[in-house]
Amino acid sequence: MANDTNSNGAPSLFAVRKIKWEGLKITLHLLSYLRPYRGTFVAGMLFLALSTGTSLAFPKLVGSIIEVIEGKSRFTINQITLFLFLVLVCQAVFSYFRIYLFSKVSENAVNNIRLDVFSKIITLPIPYLEERRVGELTSRITSDVSQLQGLLSFTLAEVFRQLATLVVGVSILFYTSWKLTLFMLATFPILVVASVFFGRHTRILSRKAQDQLAAANVVVEETLQSVNVVKAFTNESLEINRYKKILGQVVDLSMYAARFRGGFASFTIFALFGGIVCVIWYGARLVQAGEFGLSDLFTFILYTTFIGASISGMGDLYAQINRTIGASERIFEILEETPEVSAEDAQHAAASHIEGHVAYDNVHFAYPSRPDLPVLKGVSFKINAGEKIALVGYSGAGKSTIVQLLMRFYNYQSGEILVDGKPVRGYGITELRKNIAIVPQEVMLFGGTIYENIAYGKPSASREEIIDAARRAHALEFIDSFPERFETIVGERGIKLSGGQRQRIAIARAILKDPKILILDEATSSLDAESEKLVQIALDELMKNRTTIVIAHRLATIRKVDMIYVLREGHIAESGTHQELSGMDNGLYANLIKLQFENTEDIS
């Protein structure tokens, strides 16, 4: 593999070519978002050309006033001044439409980018999402995409305007005096080279700055999500200092970039105005020699100022483009990831017709992040359609992993998981998951209404179906007690509801989905006795005629299941009914019951 740096630490030729290719690829990808709005973009370019043309008319008209003063023009000062105001009005109108049309293009294009990034993130596999923190991904959609908005609404149009100014202005100058034009152009290559160097360095700094901002967003996201824990441990100052430290790093990086930009700006001003002074000196000599008039010199100086400002602006624009490309690299890295299912396929996919037979045949699995630590080591068992089984064991035995593999959150390394005799890999992910519902221990509700949270199980359901699902989940009792009933806002993550109420909303959501396979992941373990009783009644209703996998720590809740599988260190150590396993001397299940009984006595 080629090195990215040479012996003295500078970027190698390979690294430079790689940066150029990545920049070109990102630019082409970005421009593809302009394609649906190319008509509006072309109209914006037309007004940009008209605006640029009117601005380039000013130096010539000002030069004409000097010609009037010298007595070399057939127009009067009033006529030229009136025409100047007319040009000014036209430029104002052209500039308005230029800004409006480019803003329209940029807003729509950026909206599509944000939607594409969000759609890609939400369709990426679980392992990818687990490797990234929520704050980091949020930063990509917010601050990184905002950088693109500036590029599309202003920078891109400004590049074309400056290029047009440069080309047309130099053409006019050549027509006025080719000698003075060549003299003027000899001072600009230094600016161009400096701009290129500055732009490359700015891109690197920008990527670092965006990464630091993403890290800062992570701190905010984590702190606010766990604010109860922060306050319970009185660690407000710790979190403030953590955020302060990372903001300090952002400021340090920004100040370094500012010093770099300041040095470049100082160099540009000196080089630009030094060049204008040289042009004035040489032009004055040409006027003295009688090669052209004073009005031509005045016009030439104005055009030189315009061109110099364009070249100076091009350097800054080049830096902005590199800064934006640096920030957008992370965005397009996400967009290039392979999703587990496309959003369009997921929207139109229908549930596969299954009976609910499930079989695990010698399944081995280790998490991608820890490939050397196997979690499941040859797990095998069968569940007939409509049966209810329970998975028990100590924490880390592999209980939750078993159901995650069934839902294809991860891919197992060897063995096979079958649904109705067909490997789960043979089903489309969406088609398979539409047949499975899960009621977790920690219910995640969205911040909308109770109605919206129940409807999440089947967005196309009628109001009557949603009310019936709530009734069957024994949730109507507390829903009807609220003034807004189904329109009650549950708050972020369902914080306004009790644990038992959240569980019954989740059960209603699962009933509405009407799955063939049901997963209950310790659904009652965090509830008090009264709430557990109500939730258990709702669960009994939910489990009717469904293949059910129960993950439980409270063994008293699984006495009625058809089969219990006891896991230990990735193996099925025991299997049988509650009566069979509890009667085994020194059995793992019997010991678990004994430990729970002793803990209950100790607590009482």
Q: Report the pLDDT value the prediction gives residue 302, as an integer from 0 to 100.
A: 76
Question: Cβ neighbours of residue 40 under 8 Å, at least 6 residues apart?
Answer: 101, 104, 105
Cβ atoms 517, 357 nearer than 8 A: no
Question: Cβ neighbours of residue 143 under 8 Å, at least 6 residues apart?
Answer: 210, 213, 214, 217, 327
Question: Cβ neighbours of residue 572 under 8 Å, at least 6 residues apart?
Answer: 379, 380, 381, 565, 566
Sign for the CA dihedral angle at 579, 582, 583, 589 comes to positive
pLDDT tens-digit readout, 517-543:
888 887 665 556 666 677 777 777 777
Q: Report the pLDDT value the prediction gives residue 348, as an integer from 0 to 100.
A: 66
Tokens of 45: 């370019």
Q: Report the pLDDT value the prediction gives residue 7, as an integer from 0 to 100.
A: 44
Diameter of the chain by CA atoms?
A: 120
The list of the chain residues with pLDDT below 50 reads 1-19, 600-604
Which fold does the domain 356-435+551-604 belong to in CATH? Rossmann fold (3.40.50)
Q: Report the pLDDT value the prediction gives residue 225, as an integer from 0 to 100.
A: 65
> Please, what is the angle between helix 529-543 and helix 499-513, to 10°?
0
Q: Report the pLDDT value the prediction gives residue 530, as an integer from 0 to 100.
A: 65
DSSP string, 491-550: -GGGTTS-HHHHHHHHHHHHHHH--SEEEEESTTTTS-HHHHHHHHHHHHHHHTTSEEEE
Rg of the chain on CA atoms, in Å:
35
Q: Report the pLDDT value the prediction gives residue 600, as an integer from 0 to 100.
A: 45
Q: Report the pLDDT value the prediction gives residue 16, as an integer from 0 to 100.
A: 40
- Superfamily of 13-335 according to CATH: ABC transporter type 1, transmembrane domain (1.20.1560.10)
pLDDT tens-digit readout, 209-238:
767 777 777 777 777 766 666 766 667 777
Say how far apart CA 98 and CA 104 lie, in whole Å. Answer: 10
Q: Report the pLDDT value the prediction gives residue 229, as an integer from 0 to 100.
A: 65
Is the full-model pTM beyond 0.85?
no
Say how far apart CA 22 and CA 326 lie, in whole Å. Answer: 10
- CATH 1.20.1560.10 boundaries in the chain: 13-335
Q: Which residue has the tokens 């490797």?
A: 131
CB atoms < 10 A from the CB of 166, how many?
18
Q: Report the pLDDT value the prediction gives residue 155, as an integer from 0 to 100.
A: 75
Task: List residues bridging with 11 in a β-sheet.
Answer: 5
Task: Look at strands 388-393 and 547-551 and give their pairing.
Answer: parallel
CB atoms < 10 A from the CB of 35, how many?
9
